[in-house]
Amino acid sequence: MTSYDYDLFVIGAGSGGVRAARTAAATGAKVAVAEDRYLGGTCVNVGCVPKKLYSYAAHFHEAFEDSAGFGWSLSEPPRFDWATLRDNKIEEIKRLNGIYGRLLDGAGVDLINGRAKVVDAHAVEVNGKRLTAEKILVAVGGWPWVPEFEGNELTVNSNQVFDLDAFPQRFLVLGGGYIAVEFASILNGLGADTHLVYRGPLFLRGFDEEVRNFTRDEMAKKGVNLHFEVNIEKIRQVETGLEVTLTDGKTLEVDAVLAATGRRPHLEGLGLEALGVETLDSGALKVNERFETSVPSILALGDVIGGAELTPVALAEAMQLVAHHYGDEAPKPMEYENIATAVFCHPNIGTVGLSEEEARERYSSVRIYSADFRPMKHTLSGSDERCLMKLVVDDASDRVVGVHMVGEEAGEIVQGLAIAVKAGLTKADFDATVGIHPTAAEEFVTMRSVTRH
CB neighbourhood size of 23 (10 A): 20
Candidates 288, 253, 2; CA nearest to 122 is 2
Confirm whether 346 is a catalytic residue.
no
| Whole-number Cα distances in Å, 167 to 101, 146, 164, 295, 325 | 32, 22, 7, 47, 48
Candidates 262, 444, 286; CA nearest to 353 is 444
Distance CA 192, CA 252 (A): 14
Q: For residue 82, which phi and psi values (nearest 5 degrees)?
A: -60, -45
Distance CA 178, CA 342 (A): 9
Whole-number CA gyration radius for the chain: 24
Distance CA 164, CA 177 (A): 21
Distance CA 27, CA 440 (A): 45
The arrangement of strands across the sheet holding 251-254 comes to: 232-238, 241-246, 251-254
Buried b (16+ CB within 10 A) or exposed e, 354-367: bbbebbeeebeebb
Distance CA 105, CA 419 (A): 34
Which one of 122, 195, 437, 453 is the catalytic residue? 437
Residues ≥6 apart with Cβ < 8 Å to 274: none
Helix, coil or strand: residue 231: coil
Asked whether 118 and 136 are in contact (CB, 8 A), the reply is: yes
Characterize the bridge pairing of strands 387-394 and 366-373.
antiparallel
Asked whether 244 and 252 are in contact (CB, 8 A), the reply is: yes
Distance CA 69, CA 73 (A): 9
Segments of 102-249 assigned E as strands = 110-113, 117-120, 123-126, 129-138, 142-144, 170-174, 193-198, 225-228, 232-238, 241-246
Characterize the bridge pairing of strands 263-265 and 142-144.
antiparallel
Segments of 54-192 assigned E as strands = 110-113, 117-120, 123-126, 129-138, 142-144, 170-174
Tell me which residues are annotated as active site.
437
